[in-house]
Amino acid sequence: MKKSAIFVCNNCGYSSLKWLGRCPECGEYNTFLKEEEIRIPRKESYRDFDEIKKSSLTDIKTQKEERLITGIKEVDRVFGGGIMKGSLTLIAGEPGVGKSTIALVIADRIASSGRKVYYFAAEESDTQIKLRADRLNIKAKELFIIVTTCIEKITEIIEKEKPSLAIIDSIQSVYKEEIGSIAGSITQVRESCAQLLYTSKRTDIPVIIIGHVTKEGIIAGPKVLEHMVDTVMYFEAEKHYLFKILRAKKNRFGSIDEIGIFEMTGNGINEVISPSKIFLDDIKDKKIGSSIVTVIEGTRPLLLELQALTARRNFGIPQRTVTGIDYNRFLLILAILEKKLKLHFENLDIFINVVGGLKIYDTSVDLGIILSLYSSIKNIPLDQKLVSIGEVGLDGEIRPVKFMEQRINEVERMGFKRCLVSERVNIKTRLELIKLDNIDKVAKEIF
């Protein structure tokens, strides 16, 4: 084994024989750190598979996908129907968001079905994990806690014991003995992940690794870490909100559009089966500046409450505070309202908020923003049994959006009576559909 000093970009993993002020790969400044490059002789390399085969693509026989069902619907949805066997998954998130907690819950559900799960703890003692397990009411006998930071020992145990699932918490805390740098360094993270990848593929055992994120919100370590794994998931939470979201950023075995929604309770993290009901809890019959909209997350329609508040400002520059929707889209809608409905915002503070802390990128909420702003400016209560679905063009035209049938079915399922849509929508439903072609008719028909 040979060692030589190299410099590695802490942002993207680009390596150089000399220190560079600016990375030629990602363009960031002052990101190069000195590392020891480890050159492992071929006969010792863990990357070599036992047998190299050459096959024509047409001759390769495929088998039915084997997935490990966790029993947690929100988790299985994000994974694409369960954890694929032989896959390597990275779950990342900010400190304290609950990465270890949700990993422990997944391990418990699988172990409770009689399958063996190994949880390798590199940051906590077994006593600390036991305290968390007691709080979560986790008592599965097939869930085993192993406290170690050596990646060679971890892979050796996985290959010998062959559990149904292995969880490593975390990838920044384990180390490879033959590498001289400290745990968490670029070389250690990259090589440790590579050895776990090889082990999972060779044994067909799914492995989940927990990863940290930096203050910029990106996964700590080299960017190549995200390229190596099969699935990258972020466990996110909005501050001051109880809801947590598991979102796939990369998934070789499923969609990246699905999300799993969880709720923080005194007993830990619980999945939210009906998010629309949670987000619309205790809603009143009529509210000023509040409208109900629909969004599509993956294949799931959600109903959310969108609020707007306008207040007159007699001096200074008016504020524009937007939470949960795209700011540029909001400015575009303001311009459409001024042009088509002759509303004036030059001396008004405007605040927009999506209840529940979710971020919306769906243009179907354009109508909801218009209704909320109009209601707030005119101080007219808006019927909360009315749901608006539609994109608004620059000329004020109301257009239909994708997945209209799924959205309307969710509106009907949640007990709403009326729905404001484009006149081009032709769907059979028991709802009262209010069809308009332009927003200049909204005031007369709705208010």
Domain that holds residue 35: 1-43
Give me the pLDDT at residue 325, please: 92
pTM confidence score: 0.73
CATH of the domain at 410: 3.30.230.10
Q: Based on the domain organization, do 249 and 358 belong to the same domain?
A: no
Place of tokens 């590695």: 8
Same domain, 368 and 406: yes
Q: Has residue 61 been placed in a domain?
A: no
Domain check: are 228 and 318 in the same one? no
60 occurs within a structural domain: no
Domain boundary among 215, 250, 272: 272
Judgement on whether residues 95 and 210 belong to the same structural domain of the protein: yes
Cα dihedral across residues 190, 191, 192, 194: positive or negative: positive
102 and 228 co-located in one domain: yes
Contact indicator for 259, 358 with CB cutoff of 8 Å:
no
Number of structural domains found in the chain: 3
- pLDDT of 178 reads 82
pLDDT for position 240: 45
Within-domain flag for 18 = yes
pLDDT of residue 373: 94
Residues 129 and 111 in one domain: yes
Do residue 171 and residue 303 come from a single domain?
no
Residues 215, 195: Cα–Cα separation, whole Å:
27
- Give 149's pLDDT tier (boundaries 50, 70, 90): very high
Q: Picking from 217-221, 239-243, 354-358, which range would have the lowest pLDDT averaged per residue?
A: 239-243
Q: What is the CATH number of the domain that holds 252?
A: 3.40.50.300
Task: State the residue for tokens 């509040």.
Answer: 290
Q: With 0-12 CB in 10 A as exposed, 13-18 as middle and 19+ as buried, what is 361?
A: exposed
What value does the mean pLDDT take over residues 164-173?
A: 92
Strand-pair partners of 244: 237, 262
Kind and range of the H or E run holding 277? helix 275-279
Looking at residue 1, its pLDDT comes to 47
pLDDT, tens digit (0-9, with 9 covering 90-100), for 68-90: 999 898 899 899 889 999 999 99
Q: What is the dihedral of CA 45, 51, 55, 60, to 10 degrees?
A: -100
Q: Report yes or no on 52 lying in a domain.
A: no
SS3 210: strand
pLDDT at residue 17 in the model: 81
Co-location of 108 and 226 in the same domain: yes
Over residues 32-51, the pLDDT tens digits come to 877 755 555 544 445 555 56
Asked whether residue 300 falls in the same domain as residue 431, the answer is yes
What is residue 42's predicted lDDT score, i.e. its pLDDT?
Answer: 44
Query: Is residue 245 in some structural domain?
Result: yes
